[in-house]
Every structure is written in C-alpha cells, then in structure tokens.
C-alpha cells in the first residue's frame, strides 16, 4: 500500500484534530472539581487532616492547579467561659497555589498517585506520592520554607518559631500497617529561634535562638528511630534519641524519647523553673533531661 503526499497530510490532520479535541475536552468538560473532591475525601480518610480548597482548574492535563488551600487538624478545645470542650479546626498550613499532576489509572483502580509542586511560606516543595491497596511510597524534598509562615505551632501552642526549614523524605511500605515500611525523613531548621512564646498564655517566655536543629527519622523494624537529632546554638543546645511506633491515626503513635536540653546561663535563670515544673532532671553538665512516653498527640 502506497501513501502519497495528500494521504500523509490527511492522516496527520486527523490525528492533530483528535489531539486538539481531546485537549479541549480535558480543559473544558473534564470534572476537575469532582475529581479533587474525591482525592480530598480519600486523603482525609487516611490522615488526620481536614482540607479545604477554594478553586480548582486544569493544569497540563491530567493536572490540577489549586488555589486557596487550608489544611487543619481537628482538636478539642476547652471553652474558657463555660468550662466545656468543643471541637475546633487548628490551622496547619495555608497554601496559595498548588500544582498537582494526577495519575488517572491509579485513581480508577482505587489508588492514589500524584506529583505535586508548591510554593509554601517563601519556599518550594516537590513530592511524589503513590498508594495502592497493598503498598505506598512517598519521595520528595522541600527547601527555603520560613517557619514563621506555618501557623500550626502558634495556633496549637502559642509559639512563634522562626528559621529556614528544609529536608527530604523517602518512605515506602504497606498502607494498612504503618509499621511495615522502610526509609527516612531528613530535616533541618537553620538560623532558627522562638519568639513571643507564652506558657498557657500566662507567662511570657524569653526569646531564644539557635544555629540549627537537624536530624532524621529512620523507619526500620516497625519503628521510627530518632537518629542524630541535635540542637545547636548560643541560647540552646540539646539532642533527642528514642523511637516512635507508628499507628493510625498518627496522633496515637506510641513514643519513647529521651530529651536533653541545655539553655545558656542567662536563659536558664529565666526558664529553669519551667523545666523543673515539667519534671526535667538537671544533670552535672547542665543538661535538663527527661523521657517522654505516651502518644504523639499528648506525650507525658
């Protein structure tokens, strides 16, 4: 069978027309809002987070560009006037813009798979996530995130943390059992500090700075092991060792963590009473030590 020039042009034209129609369908007709609602409901079912999105629009099909994202966690808060508890949403992250590339075949098979890029608190985040019925994997990195742009600590504990946050994650395992996995999470906060902190909104704590806070969490043998977690600076020094036993939901994860914190002499004179109140023991080298147990959401 021979093809002349007209036949080739006709074939190319038909293919191009089909591609154009497909792209127009994807951008104008495809139910992006319904798709993102399904994705959010599945994420909320598997995590403690509550997610709200103001708008969704197409981005490099099959991608979605989201705007006005609010991520929060539910918590019980006691009403000061009535002495009763009410459920409130505590802000975790506010993201202006998030671009997600979806893997449609995974969604159709009942799984979740996507890659995302975001600008968050003046920094950048790139994450690739995959989850099926019997396995998951998450890989990515983040850098240049300003901690003062993350509202969770301020909302939950009335602490304003500053610093430049960076790190990377590489984990894989079984969704049904978080203990069956392996990998590591590296993190680092450089030029950090604590500003305008209060104790139960009653006592104002002194401002403190540190050069860096870094370490990694290694998932092995069913536990997250704290590896080389260190705090270094003129006002504060410290380290943490121990393990976290992952459970679902994450707030119920069991932990056994050894803390060592050494404030500078000037800071010690201002907050030493606080460490004593929190049952820390001061050793001969000036380190306040304590073992934290219980669960991640409410250690003791």
Whether residue 207 contacts residue 233, with contact meaning beta carbons closer than 8 Å, is answered with no
Distance CA 32, CA 36 (A): 6
Cα 100 to Cα 91: distance, rounded to the nearest angstrom? 22
d(CA 241, CA 250): 19
| Percent of the chain clearing pLDDT 90 (strictly above) | 32
* Burial classification of residue 300, based on how many CB atoms lie within 10 Å of its CB (0-12 exposed, 13-18 middle, 19 or more buried): exposed
With 0-12 / 13-18 / 19 or more C-beta atoms within 10 angstroms meaning exposed / middle / buried, residue 298 is exposed
3-class secondary structure for 15-69? Answer: HHHHHHHHHHHHHHCCCHHHHHHHHHHHHHHHCCEEEEEEEEEECCCCEEEEEEE
Residue 77 has pLDDT above 70, yes or no: no
Q: Look at residue 21 in the predicted model and tell me its pLDDT.
A: 66
**Are the beta carbons of 143 and 121 closer than 8 angstroms?**
no
Burial environment of residue 194 by CB neighbours within 10 A (0 to 12, 13 to 18, 19 or more): buried
- Summarize pLDDT for 212-223 with one digit per residue, the tens: 999 999 998 889
Cis peptide before 110 (omega within 30 of 0): no
List the Cα angle 220/226/229 in 5-degree steps: 145
Full DSSP string of 190-233: EEEEEES-EETTTEEPPPEEEEEEEEEEEEETTEEEEEEEEEES
Question: What CA–CA distances, in Å, run from 100 to 26, 58, 67, 125?
Answer: 15, 10, 11, 12
Confidence band, pLDDT 50/70/90 cuts, at residue 229: very high
Strand 298-299 vs strand 177-195: parallel, antiparallel, or unpaired? unpaired
Tokens 């301020």 locate to: 154
On whether the CB atoms of residues 62 and 27 are closer than 8 A, the answer is no
Q: How far is CA 198 from the centre of its chain?
A: 24
**Could you tell me if residue 210 is left (phi over 0), alpha (psi between -120 and 50 degrees) or otherwise beta?**
beta
Name the 3-class secondary structure at 147: helix
Q: Which residue has the higher pLDDT, 169 or 30?
A: 169
Looking at residue 251, the DSSP 8-state letter turns out to be G
- The pair of structure tokens assigned to 197 is 């902190």
Cα separation values, 254 from 111, 222, 295, Å: 28, 12, 4
Mean pLDDT over each residue of the chain, to the nearest integer: 82
Task: Give the pLDDT of residue 7.
Answer: 64
Query: What does the pLDDT average to over 237-245?
Result: 94
Q: Per-residue pLDDT tens for 265-287? A: 999 998 888 888 888 899 989 99
Mean of the pLDDT values across residues 49-62? 80
Q: Is the pLDDT confidence value at 22 over 80? A: no
Out of 33-42, 104-113, 176-185, 269-278, least confident range:
104-113
Give me the numbers of helices (H) and strands (E) for the chain, helices first please: 5, 18
- Residue 132: both structure tokens together: 């099926």
């Amino acid at each position: 069978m021979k093809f002349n020039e007209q036949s080739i042009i006709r074939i190319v034209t038909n293919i191009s027309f089909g591609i154009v129609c497909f792209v127009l369908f994807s951008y104008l007709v495809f139910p992006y809002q319904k798709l993102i609602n399904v994705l959010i409901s599945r994420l909320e079912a598997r995590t403690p987070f509550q997610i709200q999105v103001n708008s969704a629009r197409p981005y490099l099909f099959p991608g979605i560009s989201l705007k006005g994202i609010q991520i929060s966690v539910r918590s019980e808060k006691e009403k000061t006037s009535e002495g009763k508890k009410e459920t409130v949403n505590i802000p975790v992250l506010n993201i202006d813009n998030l671009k997600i590339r979806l893997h449609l075949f995974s969604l159709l098979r009942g799984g979740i798979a996507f890659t995302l890029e975001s600008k968050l608190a003046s920094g950048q985040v790139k994450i690739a996530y995959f989850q099926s019925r019997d396995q998951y994997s998450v890989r990515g990195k983040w850098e240049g995130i300003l901690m003062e742009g993350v509202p969770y600590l301020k909302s939950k504990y009335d602490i304003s943390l500053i610093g430049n946050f960076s790190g990377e994650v590489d984990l894989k395992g079984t969704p049904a059992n978080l203990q069956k996995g392996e990998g590591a999470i590296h993190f680092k906060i450089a030029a950090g500090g604590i500003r305008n902190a209060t104790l139960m909104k009653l006592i104002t704590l002194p401002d403190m700075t540190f050069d860096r806070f870094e370490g990694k969490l290694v998932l092995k043998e069913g536990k997250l092991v704290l590896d080389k977690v260190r705090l270094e600076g003129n006002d504060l020094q410290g380290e943490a060792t121990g393990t976290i036993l992952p459970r679902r939901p994450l707030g119920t994860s069991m932990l056994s963590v050894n803390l060592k914190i050494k404030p500078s002499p000037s800071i010690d004179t201002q907050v030493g009473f606080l460490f004593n109140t929190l049952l820390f023991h001061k050793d001969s080298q000036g380190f306040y030590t304590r073992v934290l147990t219980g669960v991640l959401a409410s250690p003791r």
